[in-house]
C-alpha cells in the first residue's frame, strides 16, 4: 500500500468498524450526504466512543486490519492515550481516508452526539450511527469558517424539510 492512493470505500471502512464492534458516530461530509446534502467527500469522519478500554482495544484492532497509517506513510501504534494526545487523528487506510475525532468542535463528544443520532441503513448490511442534521450544523458553525456557509444553509434547509416546514408541493 505504500505510495499508492487507496480508493475511498466508505462502506468497507464502516464494515470493518462494525466487524470489530467499534462504537462510533459518523460526522462530517459523509454524514451530511447520508442526511441528504449534495456534496462530495473523499474520507470518513467518525467520533469513537472512548469510555471503555475494551472499546478502544476494538478500535485499535479495526485500525490494524485497515492497515492505518499516518498521512506521511508512517505506521503508528494505537493505544488508549492516542485520542487523548491527538483529538483529531487523520489516517490513511486500505479503504481510504479515515479521521477519528475525539470531541468535534461545538459538541461534548460521543455522548452528546448520541442523543440525537440515528442508525441509518447504508447498504451491504451496514447500519451506521449518523449524527443528526442539527448536530452536523452545530459542528460546522462552531468551526466558524466562511467556506462552510453553503453547507450550513443546506443543512438548515434539510432540517426545515424534516420538520415539515419546507415549501409545500401543490399538485
Task: Check residue 1 and give its pLDDT.
Answer: 47
Q: Write out the three cell numbers for 155.
A: 443543512
Q: For 32-81, write each residue's pLDDT tens digit.
A: 999 988 899 999 999 999 888 898 899 999 999 999 999 988 777 777 67
With cut-offs at 50, 70 and 90, classify the pLDDT of residue 15: very high
Q: Write out the three cell numbers for 143.
A: 468551526
Report the DSSP beta bridge partners of residue 127. Answer: 121
Q: Contacts for 75-83 with beta carbons within 8 Å, 24 or more apart?
A: 80/53, 80/56, 83/48, 83/50, 83/56
Q: For 104-134, write each residue's pLDDT tens digit.
A: 999 999 999 999 999 999 999 999 999 999 9
Q: Helices 133-143 and 149-162 meet at what angle, rounded to 10?
A: 160
- pLDDT at 153 exceeding the cut of 70: yes
Residue listed under C-alpha cell 469510555: 51
Domain assignments of the chain as residue spans, ordered by start: 10-144
Per CATH, domain 10-144 is 1.20.120: no
- CA–CA separation, 21 and 171 (whole Å): 47
Amino acid at each position: 500500500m505504500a505510495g499508492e492512493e487507496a480508493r475511498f470505500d466508505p462502506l468497507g471502512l464502516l464494515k470493518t468498524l462494525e466487524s470489530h464492534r467499534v462504537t462510533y458516530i459518523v460526522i462530517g461530509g459523509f454524514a451530511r450526504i447520508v442526511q441528504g446534502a449534495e456534496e462530495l467527500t473523499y474520507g470518513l469522519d467518525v467520533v469513537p466512543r472512548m469510555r471503555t478500554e475494551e472499546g478502544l482495544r476494538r478500535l485499535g484492532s479495526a485500525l490494524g486490519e485497515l492497515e492505518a497509517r499516518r498521512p506521511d506513510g508512517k505506521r503508528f501504534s494505537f493505544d488508549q492515550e492516542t485520542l487523548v494526545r491527538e483529538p483529531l487523528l487523520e489516517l490513511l487506510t486500505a479503504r481510504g481516508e479515515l479521521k477519528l475525532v475525539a470531541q468535534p468542535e461545538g459538541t461534548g463528544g460521543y455522548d452528546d452526539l448520541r442523543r440525537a443520532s440515528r442508525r441509518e441503513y447504508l447498504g451491504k448490511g451496514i447500519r451506521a450511527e449518523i449524527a443528526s442534521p442539527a448536530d452536523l450544523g452545530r459542528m460546522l458553525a462552531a468551526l466558524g469558517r466562511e467556506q462552510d456557509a453553503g453547507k450550513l444553509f443546506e443543512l438548515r434547509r434539510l432540517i426545515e424539510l424534516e420538520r415539515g416546514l419546507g415549501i409545500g408541493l401543490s399538485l
